Amino acid sequence: MIHGILGIWNYWIVIILMMTGLFIVISRHNLVKKMVGLTIFQTSVFLFYISLGKVQGGTAPILTGYKDSLYSNPLPHVLILTAIVVGVATTALGLALILRIKSEYGTIEENEIAELNTEENSK
Amino acid sequence: MIDLIAIENHLPALQVVIPLLLAPVAILVSLPFLSWLVALFGSLFCLYASVSLFFQVSEFGKINYFMGGWLPPYGIEYVIDEASSFMIVLISLMGVFATIFAYQSLKKEINKKSQSKVYGMWLLALGGLLGLVTTGDAFNLFVFLEISSLSSVTLVALGSKKDKRALTAAFNYLLIGAVGATFYVIGVGLLYSVTGTLNIADLTIKISELTANNSVKAGISFIIIGLMVKAAIFPLHIWLPSAYTFAPSAVAVLLTATATKAALYVLARILFTLLFNADDFTVIILQWVLLPASIVAIFFGTIRAIFEKDIKKLLAFSSLSQIGYITIGLTLGTASGIMASFIHIANHSMMKAALFMGIGAISIQLKKSINVDDLKGLSKSMPVTSISLTVVILSLLGIPLTIGFISKVYLLKAVFSHGNWPILFIIVLTSFLALGYAWQLIENIWMKQPVDTALTINDDPKIYIPLVVLAVFNILFGIYAYPIVNSAFNASAAIFWKAL
Amino acid sequence: MISSTNFIYLALLPPLLAPIFIFIFKNNQNLRDSVGLIGSLISFYATINITNDLMNGGSPTLYLFNIFSDLSLSFKVTPLGAVFGLLCSGLWILAAIYSIGYMRGNNEKNQTRFYIFYSLSIFGALCVAWSSNLLVLFIFYEFLTFATYPLVVHKETDESIKASRLYLGILVGSSLMLFLPAIIWVWYSVGTLNFADGGILNNTFDPVYAPILLSLFVFGIGKAALMPLHWWLPAAMVAPTPVSALLHAVAVVKAGVFSILMVICYIFGPEFMNSSGSGKFLIWASTITLFLSSVIAIRKNDIKARLAYSTVSQLSYIILGGAIATNYSLIASVSNIMMHGVGKITLFFCAGAIYVSTKITKITDLNGIGHKMPLTFIAFSIGALSIIGIPPLGGSWSKFYLLLGAAQSELTIIIIILAISTLLNTYYLLDPVFRAFFMDKNENVKTVNHPLTVYPALCSAFLVILLFFYIDPLLQLVNLIIY
């Protein structure tokens, strides 16, 4: 049984990273840290997919020229390339927003922004 | 000489590709008017494409379009059937309305230097949503989900000139949306690990034999949660009120009419087409997750709206409760329930888009965000806008001879045939409670004396024309309900395989 | 030879299209005010022809198009509908004349808006009268609520706004939460909503649930003012008197009881009503209402408030007749729609004439006015006596038939309560008359004469007398319903 649990150690890492990422998104006040948490969360998903694609004894899914090579599943790698690009776009957009928030509010701590917002609300 | 037949054959791809290609063109063209023309051209083309596809489907049946000629399940296919053609017609039609309204509205509400770039984002959002509802590949769906989300975030953030809270609203939208989309990806990954395919039709076949598999169940659950975020179903709706309130008016018009509806459509597809053989599991999702969520959404949206002074926020909460009605139609799990949901998807888009347009028209003139009190005496200064707004508000309340009544009747009929009395009572009770927030708007417009600033505003034909047309639609399709009802019936039959 | 279908157009189009002309002529007072009058004459002429056709065995119908797959937007004139239609279009003529006098005499503002929505309300009432199925009835029932809203809130004072909210809240709330589900229930069980002779529920609906269905209908049709949903009626008295006269004595409340009667006669059918025993609780609900509202009416000093509670009471007479559902009681109900309508409008016309002339709204201030406004008070007495049920006035027929119907069903307690209620009616309706003629004036009250507010009251009082003798055509019509 221990062999079974340890045998899927890559999935455990995925879960830990996923939870860590989500926790950071929710609990940290600093907006940049939230973005970092989001990135960690997304990375864990990438790891998940890649783990799915590994074939035992298979090599990286790049044509080697040999007839009988065993390759890992290339599809998850392709999917993850797409997802990484999406993740980069998300991070870029998020950081751009943070820059603008900093110039408008003067702070990037969520609780301070909320206070400034409630002042705005009550005006 | 443009080969029309070639275009006809490739419409499923073109209706997504053209907006995506036109987006950088709109950004590169630095004159705002020209950018707007590019956006208008893009949305009109999409309208043409979707209407033509709609008629093709009603004559010939489902269209499977293989992107790049690669056959599924290895290639990505786009599926246009009665249900997705319903959605693309709706999305592109509302896109055209929003684009027409956008020119005057965005001119006044966003930064000078962003005015041409916004149309690029606009086209991206439109193309992304169209792709979202037509794609037949699960991962492609994620890509379009993100395309539409990210461009929507940018569009919302552009409201920062009027109110800097648009930035935090956009950031929250980004965070929550990205988390939701990632949940979706996890779900797809789990499904892929079990079945080895990403093609939705293929997944359907493979899952139908694997319904007891825990990975499948977990995967579906992740997917549903991810979609609930995008569809703003309670309790994952948190991004919606702020996003709609602080976004520029035209952006709110576009988003309210299209974004959440597309996600609800995908939800329906997953629940009923993908899981057509998974009765027990689907029932659990419907009864224990979606049903409580939508009931709370309806109450929360209605009651919160009654106490809200800022009109855009009021409309946003009202949207939450209307989304709850749509979801309740889905939870019934019957063909008539799904039909009622589709009818309300179409009708609510038309109602809410018109309402946001009307409020936008007023806020352009008053140059600030509109409170309920700002509507006082509007009938004297902006009669055409007032009449259109009144018609649409009556439609929202579900008064006979409007589309709101049609969707209400079909929803009640569907709930009735399911025999669920408490839900019936909740629906009529909340319809009555909606009077609480809607009637004060009408009272203020017609019965109260105007505040001083209001005396300076007047009707502007350039702005109110799309609003008037939508108000006319509200009544026209309330009387001649056949087109919408019939298409919804076909759409529901296309989704709900068991009915066949 | 105009077909009856075209007559239906001719009757419905004037109240629908008049608002356009009223708006066009909004700056020319005389032209604008005469639009409604001309429209009412055309409409009434058409209605008489339609009724004639019906009595000669025809069945006037008008089909427009299908709204839902099996339900059409169409009109069919039933005998019940013909009575209601005659009442509305006929009294519109009198009310149009009266409104001119009242609005000018009081110098009311927003007169254009008033006439527009007045006309639209008549349109709504006529469409309700001639609806061919429950869906059309519901559509125009709701239309009527919203068309009358601007009239209730006409004065735009805080009191009017509060009253109009109550009005809207009760009427829309009851129709959305009770009436609409009841309609859907019928639609789902039976498959159709078309009115049919003898009802459509007979073999298709489980009789066990029939009382529940009937209560959903009866309390859902809030315009019939069954307690405890009657609050909107006294509250709506903040409206100008022409509104109270035509709408809250004739169009709106009669639309309510009319709808209940349509449901009883053409959805349930008298046979099913009796076999399922659905009427039993309704007999008690309406009796309690008619008794309690009579008691409350005695304590009201404001003229319009007293008349409002009298209306609530009389409406329950009509509902009671429907609940008993025998041929005599149904005759009583249908004839009372006509009699009470004409009688009550007389009373309201008089109340408004008193207000325009003397600004008096309280009954205790009426002492001795009769000598200054003899015609008005004579009309008032005639109307009052008719409602009390004294021959030779029209209202006596309805009371007579109601007592017969109650006796037929051996409901002795009801007969006793009806008798007590009649005594109460006598007191609170004749009290103003006695004060006016037989008591000395309190102080010097200035009266300004506005003939246009007096003559319509005289006309309707005359109608009250006429209807006593001219009862036969009405009975003919009513018999068509039952057999």
pLDDT exceeds cutoff 60 at B67? yes
What are the φ/ψ torsions at residue B267 (nearest 5 degrees)?
Answer: -55, -45
C123/C127 Cα distance (integer angstroms):
6
Using a threshold of 3 CB pairs under 8 A, tell whether chains A and C touch. Answer: no
How high is the pLDDT of residue B500? Answer: 36
Contact B413 C173 (CB under 8 A): no
Q: Which of B306, B395, B439 to mutate to test the interface with C (most CBs of C within 10 A)?
A: B439
Q: Quick one: pLDDT at residue A45?
A: 93
CA distance B349 to chain C (A): 21
User: Cα distance from B175 to chain A (closest Cα, Å)?
Assistant: 7
The residue written with tokens 């053409």 in the block is C266
Q: How many CB atoms lie within 10 A of CB C158?
A: 8
Domain extent, residue C303, equals 278-483
Cα gap C459→C349, rounded to integer Å: 11
pLDDT (tens digit per residue) in C219-272: 989 888 888 888 888 888 888 888 888 777 778 899 999 999 888 888 888 878
pLDDT tens per residue, range C283-296: 888 888 888 998 88
Question: Please, what is the Cα angle at C148 between C143 and C150, to 5 degrees?
Answer: 120
Chain C partners (3+ C-beta pairs within 8 A):
B
Q: Do C156 and B447 touch (CB under 8 A)?
A: yes
Buried b (16+ CB within 10 A) or exposed e, B157-188: bbbbebbbbbbbbbbbbbbbbbbbbbbbbbbb
- Flag whether pLDDT at B178 surpasses 60: yes
Bigger pLDDT: B117 vs C26:
B117
Distance CA B259, CA B242 (A): 15
Q: Of A22, A49, A98, which is closest to B189 when you measure between CB atoms?
A: A49
Q: What ipTM did this prediction achieve? A: 0.92
For residue B174, the model assigns a pLDDT of 95
Considering only CB atoms, C153 lies closest to which of B394, B447, B485, namely B447
Inter-chain CB proximity B146 and A90 less than 8 Å? yes
The percentage of chain C sitting over the pLDDT mark of 70, rounded to a whole number, equals: 97
**Nearest-5° angle of CA B205, CA B208, CA B211?**
145
Is the predicted pLDDT of residue B460 greater than 80, yes or no?
no
- Tokens matching residue B115: 């005015």
Query: Are A48 and B186 a contacting pair at CB < 8 A?
Result: yes
Q: What is the pLDDT of residue A97?
A: 94
Structural domain boundaries in chain A: 2-57+69-122
Q: Do A89 and B150 touch (CB under 8 A)?
A: yes
Helix axes C180-190, B421-447, angle to 10 degrees: 140
Most A-contacting residue of B149, B163, B179 (CB-CB within 10 A), to test interface: B179
Query: B418, B447, B486: best mutation site toward chain C, by most C Cβ within 10 Å?
Result: B447
Residue at token pair 């509010």: A105
- Residue numbers in B near A90 (CB within 8 A): 146, 150, 174, 178
Rounded distance, CA B377 to CA B362, Å?
12
The answer to whether B349 and B94 have CB atoms below 8 angstroms apart is yes
Cα–Cα distance measured from residue B103 to residue B113, given in angstroms and rounded to the nearest whole number: 15
Residue type, A80: I
Asked if the model's pLDDT at residue B329 lies above 60, the reply is yes
- Is residue C164 a contact partner of residue C152, using CB atoms and an 8 Å limit? yes
Query: How many CB atoms are closer than 10 A to CB C416?
Result: 11
The secondary structure element, H or E, covering residue B65 is: strand B63-66
CA distance B470 to B387: 12
Query: Rounded distance, CA C297 to CA C291, Å?
Result: 10
Query: Comparing C-alpha atoms, which of B204, B335, B216, B228 is closest to residue B289?
Result: B228
Higher pLDDT, C208 or B144: B144
Give me the phi and psi of B397, to 5 degrees please. Answer: -75, -15
Q: Across the interface, do B429 and C177 touch by the CB < 8 Å criterion? A: yes
Distance from CA of B257 to the nearest CA of C (A): 25
Instruction: Report the residue from A79, A93, A120 with minimal CB separation from B174.
Output: A93
Condensed to tens digits (0 to 9), the pLDDT of residues B417-436 reads 888 888 999 999 999 999 88
Contact between chains at B189 and A48 (C-beta distance less than 8 A): yes
Q: Could you give the CA distance from residue B394 to residue B439 in angstroms, rounded to a whole number?
A: 9
pLDDT at B150: 94
Lowest-confidence region among B122-136, B152-166, B238-252, C268-282: C268-282
Position B499 scores a pLDDT of 41
Q: What are phi and psi of A28, to 5 degrees?
A: -85, 140
Asked if residues B44 and B126 have their Cβ atoms less than 8 Å apart, the reply is no
Subunits next to A (3 or more Cβ pairs <8 Å) are: B
Local confidence band at A94 (pLDDT 50, 70, 90 cut-offs): very high
Between C452 and C335, name the one with better pLDDT. Answer: C335
Q: What percent of chain C has pLDDT over 90?
A: 5
Chain B residues lying within 8 Å of A34, measured CB to CB: 175
Q: How far apart are CA B117 and CA B106, in angstroms?
A: 11
Distance from CA of B343 to the nearest CA of C (A): 13
Segment C124-128 mean pLDDT: 91
Residue A77 buriedness (CB in 10 A; 0-12 / 13-18 / 19+)? middle
- How many C-alpha atoms does C240 have within 13 Å on its Cβ side? 27
Nearest to A69 by CA among A50, A51, A80, A55: A55
> For residues B129 and B42, is the Cβ–Cβ distance under 8 A?
no
CB distance A49 to A79 below 8 Å: yes
- Cα B64 to chain centroid distance, Å, stands at 24
Chain B residues in contact with A120 (beta carbon < 8 A): 163-165
Task: State whether residue A46 sits within 8 Å of chain B by CB.
Answer: no
- What residues does B199 pair with on adjacent strands? B137
Structure tokens at B140: 């492609």
Chain B contacts in chain A segment 55-74 (CB below 8 A): none
Q: What are the two backbone dihedrals, phi and then psi, of residue C61, each rounded to the nearest 5 degrees?
A: -135, 160
Which two structure tokens, joined as six digits, stand for C270?
A: 């008298």
Can you tell me the distance from the alpha carbon of C449 to that of B34, in angstroms, rounded to the nearest whole number? 70
CB contact under 8 A, C139 and B416: no
Q: Give the residue, B227 or B105, on which the prediction is more confident.
A: B227
Residues of C in contact with B432 (CB under 8 A): 172-173, 176-177
In chain B, pLDDT over 90 holds for what percent of residues?
Answer: 46
Indicate the domain borders of chain B: 1-277, 278-500
Q: Is the pLDDT of residue A103 over 60?
A: yes
Rounded to whole angstroms, the Cα distance separating C279 from B39 reads: 64
What six digits make up the tokens of B148? 């539409």
- Which residues contact residue C332 at a Cβ distance below 8 angstroms, ignoring those fewer than 6 apart? C317, C321, C398, C399, C400, C401, C402, C404, C405
B218-271 per-position pLDDT tens digit: 999 999 999 999 999 988 899 999 999 999 999 999 999 999 999 999 999 888
What rounded mean pLDDT belongs to chain B?
Answer: 88
CB proximity list for C321: less than 8 A, separation 6 or greater:
C329, C330, C331, C332, C333, C336, C401, C402, C405
Do B174 and A41 lie within an 8 Å CB cutoff? no
DSSP structure class, residue B10: T
**Is any Cβ of chain B less than 8 angstroms from the Cβ of A101?**
yes
Q: How far is A9 from chain B (nearest CA, A)?
A: 17
Higher-confidence residue of B20 and B377: namely: B20
Instruction: Over range A18-27, report the average pLDDT.
Output: 93
Chain B residues with CB under 8 Å of A75 CB are 198
- Asked whether residue A40 carries a pLDDT value surpassing 90, the answer given is yes
Cβ-based contacts of A93 with chain B (< 8 Å):
150, 153-154, 174
Amino acid at position A2, single letter: I
Q: How far apart are CA B71 and CA B64, in angstroms?
A: 10
Tokens of A44: 């864990």
C65 to chain B: nearest residue by CA?
A: B480
Instruction: Report the pLDDT value the prediction gives residue B341, as an integer from 0 to 100.
Output: 94
Q: How far is CA A76 from CA A13, A17, B188, in A?
A: 18, 19, 11
Partner-chain contact C184 B394, CB within 8 Å: no
What is the nearest CA distance from C221 to chain B, expressed in angstroms? 15
- What residues contact C211, with CB distance under 8 A and at least 6 apart? C276, C277, C278, C280, C281
Which of B38, B49, B55 has its CA nearest to residue B14? B49
Interfacial residues of B (vs C; Cβ cutoff 8 Å)? 394, 397-401, 405, 408-409, 412-413, 416-417, 424-425, 428-429, 431-432, 435, 439, 443, 446-447, 479-482, 485
User: Which three-class secondary structure string do you get for chain C?
Assistant: CCCHHHHHHHHHHHHHHHHHHHHHCCCCHHHHHHHHHHHHHHHHHHHHHHHHHHHCCCCCEEEEEEEECCEEEEEECCHHHHHHHHHHHHHHHHHHHHHHHHHHHHCCCCHHHHHHHHHHHHHHHHHHHCECEHHHHHHHHHHHHHHHHHHHCCCCCHHHHHHHHHHHHHHHHHHHHHHHHHHHHHHHHHCCCECCCCCCCCCCCCHHHHHHHHHHHHHHCHHHCCCCCCCHHHHHHHCCHHHHHHHHHHHHHHHHHHHHHHHHHHHHCHHHHHHHCCHHHHHHHHHHHHHHHHHHHHCCCEHHHHHHHHHHHHHHHHHHHHHHCCHHHHHHHHHHHHHHHHHHHHHHHHHHHHHHHHCCCEHHHHCCHHHCCHHHHHHHHHHHHHHHCCCCCCHHHHHHHHHHHHHHCCCHHHHHHHHHHHHHHHHHHHHHHHHHHHCCCCCCCCCCCCHHHHHHHHHHHHHHHHHHHCHHHHHHHHHHHHC
Dist CA C124 CA C131 (whole Å): 10
Q: Does A42 touch chain B (CB under 8 A)?
A: yes
From chain C, pick out residues whose CB is under 8 angstroms from the CB of B479: 67, 73
B180 min Cα distance to partner chain C (Å): 37
Residue of C nearest to B430 (CA): C177
Does the CB of C190 have a partner CB in chain B at under 8 Å?
Answer: no
Cross-chain residue pair B394–C146, CB shorter than 8 Å: yes
Topology of the domain covering A2-57+69-122: Helix Hairpins (1.10.287)
Per the prediction, chain C carries an average pLDDT of 83
- Asked if residue B13 lies in contact with residue B64, where contact means CB atoms within 8 angstroms, the answer is no
Could you write out the DSSP letters of every residue in A20-40? Answer: HHHHHHHH--BHHHHHHHHHH
Query: Which residue among B142, B174, B185 places its CB closest to the CB of A90?
Result: B174
> Which residue of C146, C161, C173 is in closest CB contact with B447?
C161
Kindly report the number of other CB atoms within 10 A of residue A60's CB atom.
9
- Amino acid in the structure at residue C225: A
Residue type, A43: T
Least confident of B66-75, B486-495, C168-177: B66-75
**CB proximity list for B363: less than 8 A, separation 6 or greater:** B249, B369, B370
Q: Write down the pLDDT at residue C100.
A: 83
pLDDT value of residue C444 = 61
Residue A66 Cα, gap to closest chain B Cα (Å):
24
For chains A and B, having 3+ Cβ pairs within 8 Å is answered: yes
